[in-house]
Amino acid sequence: MIKKNTKGKAQFSFFHEGIEAGYISYIEGENICGVRIIDKYRGNGLGKKMMIEFVAFLKGEGYKHLTLAVEISNFPAILAYLSAGFFIEEISSDKVVFYMRWDS
């Protein structure tokens, strides 16, 4: 489910068994602003599934790539993005930048 506001911001909500389990906030045409999995849904692969569904949504909207950054200390997120098919583009002292590109 996508919720949009008038300033180009949108939220991709992910549901598990009819309940919102997480969301991805983003600015259309720009970048991801935030990713959140509700605590009780962490650790069972739903974050990966949510990201895969979000990428499928972006492909359908005509996007060709996705870039995001995560704090270097957020190991669960780093592992989830690698598991979802992202590649590391850059590592600095405070963050890891990931990317994913596709043809269609």
Give me the mean pLDDT over the 61-74 stretch: 88
User: Structural domain boundaries of the chain?
Assistant: 2-101
Residue type, 52: I
Contacts 24+ apart (CB under 8 A), 9-14: 9/33, 12/50, 12/53, 12/54, 12/57, 14/46, 14/49, 14/50, 14/53, 14/54
> Model confidence over 11-45: pLDDT tens digits?
888 888 888 888 888 877 667 778 888 888 888 88
Whole-number percent of the chain with pLDDT over 90: 19
pLDDT computed for residue 104 by the predictor: 58
Here the tokens at position 62 are 């005509």
What's the chain's average pLDDT?
A: 84
> Model confidence over 44-62: pLDDT tens digits?
888 888 888 888 888 888 8
pLDDT computed for residue 89 by the predictor: 95
pTM: 0.77
Q: What is the residue-wise DSSP string for 23-85?
A: EEEEETTS-EEEEEE-GGGTTTTHHHHHHHHHHHHHHHTT--EEEEEEETT-HHHHHHHHHTT
- For 2-101, CATH gives 3.40.630.30
